[in-house]
Amino acid sequence: MTDNSTNGSLQNTKDALYDNTQAAAGYVQNHPATQNVRQTVSNGPVAETVKDQHAKTTSEFQNLADSRAPPNQSTATGQPLTHYHSFFYNLLSWENPRATSIAFLSTVFFIFATRYLPALRWSFKILSYALGLTASAELAGKLVLGNGLARVIRPKKYYTIPRETLEASLEDVEQLINFFVIEFQRILFAENVTATAAAFFAALISYWLIKFTPLWGLTLIATSTLYLTPLIYKSNKEFIDAHLENASNVVNSQANQMKDLTAHHVGRYSETAKQYAGDYTAKAQNYIGGARGRSTSPETSNSTPANAPLKSEPGDAPAYQPSDFPHAPKQEPTSGVTSHQEQYQNSEFGGQAQPAT
């Protein structure tokens, strides 16, 4: 009996408090001062400006979302690009300035938040407060009222991620990963020389900056460069294009001059090489002709008679006759030892061996 009366008094107090709160809110809402402020805020110039900017921002974000479509352009290997190529091009080209500005400022704020705000510790703190509050409410309700209070805030059905949403999210993640993979390969294999050169300088500068710049600072510099470079180019397009055209003309003229100079020197070297080759070829032919003439001379000498006298040219050494040379001995010597004098007498040109005196 006591529990029922206590529950009834609590319910009456609760209903009375709710009615008084609603009555006070209605009085404040219907007060003339409140109506005047509402009219001023809703229909004043500030409100019109806010509504106009809100509508434009919403439209630009919608255009940015609609730009996520695969472009008609393909890679050098013929592979189709992802829809993130169109999305990031639309975002970084400042075609929707309000959406790009919000994205840039949000990225910068996130970098500073991860650097200076203990977001992870705060997340665990908020989670602990929420879990402690629900647990305390449930225990207090069961002890005082006999029923837990957590079921009051508990939803009728727990939220689940639909399968279609999950599959679309996974497909979107796949497209994002493939965007970075494809772009890295296109830059690495110089599909666009300008982009490859810019990536080279960015990597070189990052190599030196990372020695004394923290990671968050390097990320902030990269983000600012990525967002602000297209904006600077878009704001000064004519001036930058004129200077780039002049630089291109200077480089092309220097390249043509070097090409002509190289062709001139190559022509001279080629002519010199041909001249030396002709000289060496003529000398080689002369040497080959002389060698062939000497190889045919024994046949000519064999055609002459054996006892024909040799002819000598003026100024040449005197020719010798066969009779000028000694005859070979026809008999063996009688004694085993021949004196030196006998050998000398036998070696006389055209004479017979004489006995020694």
Residue 108 CB partners (closer than 8 Å, separation 6+): 220, 223, 224
**Segment 45-73 mean pLDDT:** 83
For residue 351, pLDDT beyond 60: no
Sort 301 into a burial class: Cβ within 10 Å, 0-12 / 13-18 / 19+. Answer: exposed
Q: Are 227 and 104 in contact (CB under 8 A)?
A: yes
Residue 264 confidence (pLDDT): 80
Model pLDDT for residues 133-148, shown as the tens digit of each residue: 888 888 888 887 777 7
Q: Is position 252 within any domain?
A: yes
What is the C-alpha separation between 21 and 345, in angstroms, rounded?
Answer: 166
Residue 8 confidence (pLDDT): 61
Residue 226 confidence (pLDDT): 92
Q: Is 58 in a helix, a strand, or coil?
A: helix
Name which of 238, 217, 219 is nearest 227 in CA terms.
219
**Segment 190-216 mean pLDDT:** 91
Please name every residue paired with 74 in a beta bridge, in sequence order, or none if there are none.
Answer: 80
Task: State the amino acid at position 315 in one-letter form.
Answer: G
For residue 208, pLDDT beyond 70: yes
Per the structure, the count of domains in the chain is: 1
Q: Is position 271 within any domain?
A: yes
Q: Is position 148 within any domain?
A: no
Q: Is position 351 within any domain?
A: no
Q: Is position 60 within any domain?
A: no
Q: Is position 327 within any domain?
A: no
What is the C-alpha separation between 307 and 323, in angstroms, rounded?
Answer: 10
Residue 272 confidence (pLDDT): 86
Residue 9 confidence (pLDDT): 63
Q: Are 253 and 247 in contact (CB under 8 A)?
A: no
Q: Could you list the residue range(s) of the whole structural domain that residue 255 is in?
A: 236-293
**Segment 208-232 mean pLDDT:** 92
Q: Is position 283 within any domain?
A: yes
Q: Is position 264 within any domain?
A: yes
- pLDDT > 90 in the chain, percent: 24
**Whole-model pTM over 0.85:** no
**Segment 231-259 mean pLDDT:** 85
